[in-house]
A = this chain, B = another copy of it.
Amino acid sequence: MAKKPGQSVRGSTTGRPIMVLLDALGRRWALRVLWELSSGPSSFRDLQARCGDVSPTSLNARLKDLRDLQLVALTEEGYALTRHGRDLAARLGPLNAWANTWAKALG
C-alpha cells in the first residue's frame, strides 16, 4: 500500500504532499510508467514491453502504488493516467527537452 499525502514517508514525518510525491516518484519505474502512459493508455503487457520488458512483479507493484495515489487507473482502454496523472505528466513533459541539452553539454 502506497503512502498518501498526510502520512509519514521515508525522510519526512510531516506528511507534506511534496515529500510524499518525491518518495513515490523515487521508486523504480514510477517515473517511467507515468512517462509512457502520457502518450496514451496501454494494456499491462504493452506497458511492460514499452518499459523494456520490466518484470510483471515490479510493474504491478508500481501500478498498485500509482493507483493508490490516483495518478493511474485501469480503464476499459487499459491502464491510463487519471486527471491528476495527466496533470503531473504534463509537468514532466518538458524534462525531455531539458535532458537533451543536458546530454549535449555533458558531451
B-binding residues in A (CB < 8 A): 4-6, 10-13, 16-23, 25-32, 35, 51-54, 69-70, 84, 87-88, 91, 94-96, 98-100, 102-103, 105-106
Q: Please state if B11 and A51 are interface contacts (CB–CB under 8 Å).
A: yes
How far is A21 from B96 in the complex, measured between Cα atoms in Å?
A: 9
A102 and B21 contact, Cβ closer than 8 Å, known pairs A12-B52, A51-B11? yes
- 22 residue pairs from A and B, CB less than 8 Å apart: A4-B106, A6-B103, A10-B54, A11-B53, A11-B54, A17-B99, A17-B102, A18-B96, A20-B99, A20-B103, A21-B95, A21-B102, A22-B31, A22-B32, A26-B30, A26-B32, A84-B105, A87-B98, A88-B95, A88-B98, A91-B94, A91-B98
